[in-house]
Amino acid sequence: MKKIDFLMAGVGGQGTILASNILAEVGLELGYDVKKAEVHGMAQRGGTVESHVRWGEKVYAPMAELGDVDYLIGFEMLEAGRWPAWLRKDAVVVVNRYRIPPPTVNLGKAKYPKEEEIDSLLKNAASKVLWVNGTDAAKEVGNPATIGVVLLGALSTLLGGDENVWLSVVERMVPPKFLEMNKNAFYAGRKLA
């Protein structure tokens, strides 16, 4: 059983934590030892959020190591750009083409990097960088807050295997009244990859 380390990066309020919870449960369903770590600072909205999910035969630390992450899922462009040093050479990156400028940018103290800059940072480190319009897809299924499940859909295509494992976990973890929308978000995401 080959280990797989995932890193999810986003901005507080984007649903990074729920998505990483789902991803961890999928790993457990698939028979892996699983650990998950998340860092969210003191802000409930608007700060950097990173979440590590590790699948493996036996996992010790809940967070991955530099140069050893297999999949990076960026919920926001700038946040995706922070992690090249953490990626394996054969890593795959999914970036949601969506930007939330931090206050430093709005106050003119820093420049939000161009898409090409982030792309080249990541391409230098990883073997494949997939840009998706995930937030648009989430809006189409009815709520931009489903972005996490859209991105998981894309990830499930990249990983291969039985999509029903993912859907059963989504079913377990999402409130019933939002289930239909989240299933649609998952399918929309699957088509993006």
Partner 1 sequence: MKKLMTGNEAFAYGAYLSGVRVGAAYPGTPSTEIMDNFSRYPGVFAEWSPNEKVALDVAIGSAYAGTRALACMKHVGLNVAADSLFYAVYTGLKGGLVIVCADDPGMHSSQNEQDNRNYARFAKLPMLEPSDSEEAKQYVGIALEMSEMFDTPVLVRTVTRLSHSSTPVEMSDEGPPQPPEEPSFYERNPQKFVMVPANARHRHPVIEEKILKLGKYSDQTPINRIEPGDDNIGIIAAGATYQYAREVFPNATFLKLGMVYPLPDELIREFASRVKTVVIIEELDPFFEEHIRLMGIEVKGKDVFPLIGEFSPALIRKCCVDAGLIEASVAPEAAAASSAAAAALPIRPPILCPGCGHRGLFTVLREAGVLVLGDIGCYTLGYAPPLSAMHTTGCMGASIGVAHGIAKAGVKDQIVSVLGDSTFFHSGIHPLINVLYNESDVTTIITDNSVTAMTGHQQHPGTGITLQGKTTKKTDIETLVRSIGYDKLDVVDPYDMDKLADVLQDHLKSGKPSVIIAKRACVLHTKERKTPPVIDTEECTNCGTCLDLGCSPLVQEEDYVTIDPINCNGCGLCVQVCPAEAIKQEA
Can you give the binding site for partner 1, defined by CB under 8 A?
11-13, 21, 24-25, 28, 33-48, 60-63, 65-68, 78-79, 81-85, 100-113, 121, 124-125, 135, 144
For residue 135, the minimal CB distance to partner 1 (Å) is: 7
**Sign of the alpha-carbon dihedral angle for 14, 15, 20, 26:** negative
> Based on CB atoms, which residue is closest to partner 1, 115 or 157?
115
For residue 48, the minimal CB distance to partner 1 (Å) is: 5
> Based on CB atoms, which residue is closest to partner 1, 112 or 187?
112
- Whether the CB-CB separation of 70 and 4 falls below 8 Å is answered with yes
Phi, psi values for residue 118, rounded to 5°: -65, -40
Helices marked H in 30-178 — which ranges? 77-80, 103-106, 115-125, 134-141, 147-159, 163-173
> Based on CB atoms, which residue is closest to partner 1, 140 or 157?
140
> Based on CB atoms, which residue is closest to partner 1, 38 or 163?
38
User: What is the C-alpha to C-alpha distance for residues 151 and 129, in angstroms, rounded to an integer?
Assistant: 14
- Whether the CB-CB separation of 38 and 49 falls below 8 Å is answered with yes
For residue 159, the minimal CB distance to partner 1 (Å) is: 19
For residue 130, the minimal CB distance to partner 1 (Å) is: 19
